[in-house]
Amino acid sequence: MRVIIVSYGVFLENLLKTINLNNIDIVAIVSPDAPPPPISFQPALKLTLFGKNVSIVPYELLDECVTETYFDYIFVSGNEGYVINQLKNLGIEKQKIVNMSLTSSFLLTYHVRLIRQIKSNISKYKILFVGLSYVRDGIDLSCFDLPAVVCAGSSQDLFYDYEYIKRMLSEENNQFKYVFIGLAPYSFNFDLSLGNNSNFILGYYLAFKKTHNFQVNDEDMEKIFNDQHLNLFETLDKINYPFDLDLNDLYKWKKQNNHPMDVSARFGARERAEVWSKKRFPLTIAENTKILKECIHFCRSKNTIPILVLYPKSHVYMRFFSKRMLDEFYYILNQIKEEEKIEVLDYTQWNEITINDFYNVDHLNSSGAKKVSTAINDYIMNKR
């Protein structure tokens, strides 16, 4: 596998510590840390990695490097948004550009850490919540009479919800009775592996060894990571983050986001809602509908009760969200509800939630999370 790396500083250090330098032929490292360029495309320095000489190319010569060199992928880490746009403008195919910035983030090991921590006390839990950031921020575990745990993350899609469900309900000695699957109005149209945050796939791959529809397939991903990271469940303590996660504040964001929505968030409401409203992909809809049904069937096969949950959105957000997409979402959801005889808890525009219960236009703060969690807990207690 021939790779060009575009990175610098600590981003480059972390990337090189993560990848398998035996499997990857690094053609060049393009970096703003390199000395200023000569007049023509001439690598300024050579770096020896695993006995191989690697050219260090000044960033100013990125154009020449990527157009005059054969490669399979370009790995980017550090200022990745700007660099990726520049590469696209140079005509580099999207499939060849891999955002590796997660190698410098706690999210690289987050899912492995979360699974390990839950597994260590798996028989304790009765309630499992899965979903995207609305679930991560919208659940307060202190509100439940039964022990509960959240397996959620930013932009987590139904594909990885299902992976979490299969992993947790297949664990020996698990005692889960309820599985709450969090949905958003765009859930059926959303595939993380094809979206703007597809770099999150790196963390999911280390936990589940599946890349879904990511541009790097499972076979190539296995070649990219070194053995320590491929075996992260066993080697985690030796690499980083040996401490436990706070299961009630997975990203440690809740304290800093424990405030009402500010003016700047409201100014950005239209843009935020319209970005998610534009995600209409028929093939993804069909796949996610199938995945959700399989989730439901799997839960029932494990003698757990699946319930679908829609978390609150502010009226500011819903004002600009596509009415057509919302109508399509409820059409699909109601079909599944009827076919699968599954209960749906819809808090999308719940009148118990006010504008002061959000920290931005579509995510709950602590007061909002307590209201929703208390309502779900009441639902469970009344159902028993």
Cα separation, 190 vs 157, whole angstroms: 7
Q: Are 30 and 175 in a shared domain?
A: no
Beta bridge partners of residue 148, listed in sequence order: 127
Q: Are 114 and 187 in a shared domain?
A: yes
Q: Are 374 and 346 in a shared domain?
A: yes
Q: Of 101, 129, 150, which residue sits at a domain end?
A: 101
The sheet with strand 2-7 has its strands ordered as: 45-49, 52-58, 25-31, 2-7, 73-77, 97-99
Q: Are 11 and 128 in a shared domain?
A: no
Q: Of 68, 101, 134, which residue sits at a domain end?
A: 101
Tell me the CB-side half-sphere exposure of residue 328, using CA atoms within 13 A.
18
Q: What is the pLDDT of residue 154?
A: 95
Q: Are 93 and 176 in a shared domain?
A: no
For 130-153, the pLDDT digits (tens) are 999 999 999 999 999 999 999 999
Q: How many domains does the chain have?
A: 2
The residue behind tokens 């969200």 is 321
CATH of the domain at 87: 3.40.50.720
Q: Are 150 and 195 in a shared domain?
A: yes
User: What is the helix (H) or strand (E) element at residue 249, kind and residue range?
Assistant: none
For 39-71, the pLDDT digits (tens) are 454 555 556 555 567 888 899 999 999 999 999
Q: Are 149 and 200 in a shared domain?
A: yes
CB contact burial 297-315 (16+ within 10 A = b; e otherwise): ebbeebebbbbbbbbbbbe
Q: Of 101, 136, 168, which residue sits at a domain end?
A: 101
Q: Are 202 and 326 in a shared domain?
A: yes
Q: Are 361 and 301 in a shared domain?
A: yes
Q: Are 279 and 146 in a shared domain?
A: yes
Q: Are 178 and 305 in a shared domain?
A: yes
Q: Are 248 and 225 in a shared domain?
A: yes
- For every residue of 34-64, DSSP letters joined together read SPPP-SSS---EEEEETTEEEEEEEGGGHHH
CA distances from 141 to 138, 323, 332 (A): 10, 33, 30
pTM: 0.93
User: What is the helix (H) or strand (E) element at residue 365, kind and residue range?
Assistant: none
Residue 79 is classified by DSSP as S
CA distances from 152 to 74, 114, 306 (A): 29, 10, 16
Which residues, given as ranges, of the chain have pLDDT below 50?
A: 39, 41
Instruction: State which residues form the domain around 319.
Output: 107-383
CATH of the domain at 350: 3.40.50.1110
SS3 content of the chain, % helix, strand, coil (to 5): 50, 15, 35
